[in-house]
Amino acid sequence: MERLSGMDATFLYVETPNGHMHVAMTGIYDVSTMPNGYSFEAFRSHIESRLHLVPPFRRRLVEVPFQFHHPVWIEDPDFNLDHHVRSIKAPAPGGPRELARIAAQIASVPLDRSRPLWEAWVIEGLQDNQVGFVAKVHHAAIDGASGAEIMTALYDLQPEPAKFEATPVEPENVPTPAELLGHAAVSKARRATNAVPLFARTLRSATKLIGNINDKEKLHGGVPLSAPATPFNQAIGPKRTVAFARVRLDEIKAVKDSLGVTVNDVVLALVGGTLRKYLELHDALPDQPLLAVCPVSVRDESERGSNGNKVSAMFAHLCTDIDDVGERVAAISRSTAGAKEDHNALGARTLTDWAEWAAPRTFGLAMRTYSSMNLANRHRPIHNLVISNVPGPPFPLYLAGAEMVAAYPMGPIMDGAGLNVTVLSYREHVDIGFMASEELVPDVWDMAAQVEPAFDELKQLAGDKNPTLVKKAAPVTQIPAATRNRTTKKATAVKKAPATKKATAAKTSPAKKAKATAAT
């Protein structure tokens, strides 16, 4: 029995019937590399052989009576792999749009809390002898860094899967109510000893942050509740839409080096440029800059190998109100630098430490009331969207012998922020996953189609400053394409327009082997 941390439990408390707090990844695999040829059973057996290495795949929740404390994890005594690994066939022609539609359907269904909080779907019938693999895990169980460690356990560095000697894992009996309450009481008593130091530390951090904000010479990030209204900043529905995009990593780095900014600055500028173009096409671009929440990993070396969430967040402006691309990139760089200063002043662990004090009954009731009454439509957005940048491996990975050729991450959305853009570098590419509320952004492929022109602007800007550096990078590979809809009114859910262009997935070639790191 292991108690969830306050941060892990918070992802349970903020979950509503419309706001599902799972993360997902849609992978595309070349099955021609599988030693014995493709079969669904090969994927299923491979996952089964690695279960002893992945605790979040075996453990289920047990609630404490009266919600007296955060829930606990136990080894599921009734675990059945068939509840978690399934297959489905994509409709013709089996391209990225068909795959994304299935991924959206999977993402639209909340996970069953009576079982371990994950699912994996093998998507058959894709083009070019490929299959899809959609993995969905609750955010209460993993963050970006621990998700990368799960990938390390499941994936191999060559087509021939490594052999592991499975260590038997004994299931646990479900604790009695008395055991749960007793364990919770001891845990709360220990937590109480940290209350005074936490309050004192937070007071010092808040004083420092206020001092930074009042210092006009310092850079600053964004402030919650200062975001402008957009079509995707309303109460969300239960259904999701998903789209993919892809750019080359060497081009991202060339732009970064030419402009003298960070990779994260380039990613934010790319997403900001994409959203600016999309909102312009729908006559919905606000006069104020969009505000993004960017998760930040606070996991240290001593916590490697541990599951759960070790995350904080910073607020950064995307500077979408600035027309000039060069000025916009410079402003984004200043905003992210200021956001880091604000984050450091407040303290990396402040959010996770205070999450320990989240009251399950009160917090959960408040979130359900907020969602059911559509209160997100009645106040200014806290933020416009979440943008998560996860560094992945520069070398090929194999699942059951199948080579992963693309990996599109998808993060959760919530009332008032119905769009999530998650970015993952893998081998020579940066794969971008768009997740949105279907009611608010039904034409999410139109949004993803703006990645290419937005990136062209950044490359043009970088090329003007350092043409030799940028020309060394290969041409961009763009996955999605779609028609544009220019008619939607400002700050209303966009109308769906039929897409006309087909999208194709591009394979990548192996890169040098190196260590992979990840952060949410």
3-state secondary structure (DSSP) of residue 359: coil
Residue 427 and residue 509: Cα distance in Å, rounded?
A: 8
Can you say whether the dihedral through the CA atoms of 402, 407, 412, 418 is positive or negative?
negative
**Other CB atoms within 10 A of residue 364 CB:** 18
**Other CB atoms within 10 A of residue 76 CB:** 21
Contact 421, 386 (CB under 8 A): yes
**Catalytic status, residue 139:** yes
Contact 143, 309 (CB under 8 A): yes
Q: Which tokens go with 87?
A: 């297959």
Residue 59 and residue 502: Cα distance in Å, rounded?
A: 41
Q: What backbone torsions phi and psi does residue 211 show, to the nearest 5 degrees?
A: -60, -40
Contact 273, 289 (CB under 8 A): no
Contact 314, 300 (CB under 8 A): no
Q: Which tokens go with 47?
A: 């996952």
Residue 315 and residue 340: Cα distance in Å, rounded?
A: 9
Q: Which tokens go with 76?
A: 């599921």
- Give the β-pairing of 2-3 and 72-75: antiparallel
Q: What backbone torsions phi and psi does residue 447 show, to the nearest 5 degrees?
A: -65, -50
Going by C-beta distance under 8 Å and a sequence separation of 6 or more, which residues neighbour residue 163?
none
The H or E element spanning position 350 is: helix 350-355
- Tracing tokens 């609750």 back to the chain, one arrives at 138
Catalytic residue among 46, 139, 220, 383: 139
Residues catalogued as catalytic:
139
